[in-house]
Chain A
């Protein structure tokens, strides 16, 4: 490999192609190759900025849980009755500003999803890496446990456990994180089993590398690609499960403005006269999950060399 500062042609290939390109031109090349991925990546970035902004309070004009009976059901883009406030997206049936609630809901959904995905991928990846690499009886036991946990559908098991523990968004968070661990264990297993037989692993071991060094220095970097894609998938599933639990009343409790909760109670009741109460959170969920899934798809197409298209 040629160092980037030198202008040397290697075997007829011009130096420009061997130097590693600056990050922005690589990003632009990615955008041209995968337009859908680029668009959804930008969307994800905007959503993330919104969530962080909500966390710091920047994008939330009014208190999302403050009651305000005089301004009930204000239409979109209207002023409050005393002229002091301006409601970008109107208010709900007890006068809370919809725009603030939607942004606050973004914070809840995004951090919930990222948290669950991060925990599941890190812990599940760790367990799966070690278990698959070691093999033998340890691997057998771990895989049987993982299989058993995956027998029952996720939402059904989550609801059952929440019924024991009681409702609440943080409980839902830990339960979901725990239930999302089996999937990464299975996914990383396939890659580890394949990589384990490669020549460079044998070479490293013959040079005296310990198991731990081989696992984390050689195997891990080569099995990360499916995990990244899986993380995006788990994120999307976590957002939807959280919304479903809130919709059923056993996730986020009122007055927490979770999008799922907004869709059930008030949203459903007032749908005939004020559909926007339900349509807005529903659309919000759909857009966020759509962007995440699309971006994960593009990442997978990019990272999996077997699926290169018409390049």
Chain B
């Protein structure tokens, strides 16, 4: 088991390297660079001055030199300075990451809280009105576009409930209530979509496991139905759901661009989009590095959780 973990961690490094090289190349291929993006506003800046600026930012060196310098910096803890925000990349990410993480965690919690009971109920009472209602709700959850739902929450939340959260980020340690007020609408929007996916998957897997032989044995033994469902079927049904959850965690960490834009939160997603549009190479690369590493680590944790849920799975 330990050897497996170590092997996986070591294999992560080439994957991360390949992805960073790929994005590095992709960014450099993009037409225009940061200077050009800034020049869209100002006018009358001649070539000479642009060249000086480029040299300052280190953009005049060949691509592989830039890459090697950047990787060297990453390993030693210097992730470069964001062209656009003129701050160390680590500072920018350090500001934005907690927001995205909190939003993501809240969304996943809401998603689990909604999807688990409905999913189990829908499977146990298949083809009854409860099943149809559950499926209808969950499909509606993934069908309504999240920007639409977000706009509705903002407008009608303000109109009907007098709900006006402040835009400036409230630290949860200082003022948890205000912080929750800020994050809850976005978390609800994200969470309903996530819960819909979970609910469908859980329903499918529960239906499969409820028809398995060991469940029949448990019932034949005289076990109560609730025991059959929760102690036997549910645990095994959870395995694909956990896979889905892992995927959702990495999506949630990536920050939902739309939700952050609509609710005006300064999270990873929003920073990422703005950085890409501005051709802010250090920031884009830094964020992608964080996102990819988080995804790979989450995948590893998901794989490890399989052996907890199903003891037959051993590494």
A residues in contact (CB < 8 Å) with B = 36, 148, 151-153, 155-156, 159-160, 163-164, 236, 240, 243-244, 247-248, 260, 263-264, 267-268, 271-272, 275, 278, 282, 285-287, 289-290, 293-294, 297, 306-307, 309-310
Contact = CB atoms under 8 A, between A and B. Distances in A.
Contact of B257 (A151, A155, A240): A155
A106 B18 CA distance: 41
Contact of A282 (B136, B148, B250): B148
B151 A156 contact: no
B276 interface: yes
Interface string B134-158: 0110011011111110011001000
Nearest to B126: A309
A148 B19 contact: yes
B165 to A, nearest CB: 18
Nearest to A268: B151
A164 B30 contact: yes
Interface of B: 15, 18-19, 22, 26, 29-31, 126-127, 132, 135-136, 139-140, 142-148, 151-152, 155, 200, 204, 207-208, 211, 250-251, 254, 257-258, 261, 269, 272-273, 276-277, 288, 291-292, 295-296
Contacts of B288: 152
A293 B292 contact: no
Contacts of B144: 282, 285-286, 289
Given A248-B261, A294-B139, A159 B208 contact: no
B292 A271 contact: no
B142 A275 contact: no
Contacts of A278: 148, 151
5 contacts: A36-B135, A148-B19, A152-B292, A163-B273, A297-B139
Contacts of A153: 250-251, 254
Chain A contact residues: helix, strand, loop or mixed: helix
Given A290-B139, A290-B140, A160 B276 contact: yes
A151 B19 contact: yes
B145 A271 contact: no
A275 B158 CA distance: 14
A286 B148 contact: yes
A306 B206 CA distance: 11
A294 B143 CA distance: 10
B48 to A, nearest CB: 28
Contacts of B261: 248
Given A282-B148, A290-B139, A290-B140, A306 B292 contact: no
A245 B29 CA distance: 22
Chain B contact residues: helix, strand, loop or mixed: helix
Nearest to A283: B148
Contact of B155 (A151, A260, A264, A271): A271
Contacts of B132: 36
A219 to B, nearest CB: 23
Nearest to B208: A306
A244 B132 CA distance: 28
A90 B126 CA distance: 43
B295 to A, nearest CB: 5
B31 A282 contact: no
B143 A297 contact: no
A65 B261 CA distance: 28
Contact of A263 (B19, B22, B30, B151): B151
B139 A248 contact: no
Contacts of B18: 148
A248 B26 contact: no
B272 A156 contact: yes
Contact of B258 (A160, A248, A272, A289): A248
Contacts of B276: 159-160, 163
B128 to A, nearest CB: 9
Contact of A151 (B136, B147, B292): B292
Nearest to A155: B257
Contacts of B257: 155-156, 159, 248
A28 to B, nearest CB: 18
A297 B136 CA distance: 11
B30 A289 contact: no
Nearest to A294: B139
A41 B169 CA distance: 46
A164 B31 CA distance: 7
Contacts of A247: 145, 147, 258
A286 B258 contact: no
A240 to B, nearest CB: 5
A248 B146 CA distance: 12
A268 B147 CA distance: 11
A62 B265 CA distance: 40
B143 A260 contact: no
Contacts of A160: 26, 276
A248 B277 CA distance: 12
A2 to B, nearest CB: 32
B145 A164 contact: no
Contacts of A271: 151, 155
Nearest to B250: A153
A163 B277 contact: yes
Contact of A244 (B136, B258, B295): B258
Contacts of A236: 142-143
Nearest to A36: B132
A58 B43 CA distance: 49
A243 B150 CA distance: 14
B138 to A, nearest CB: 9
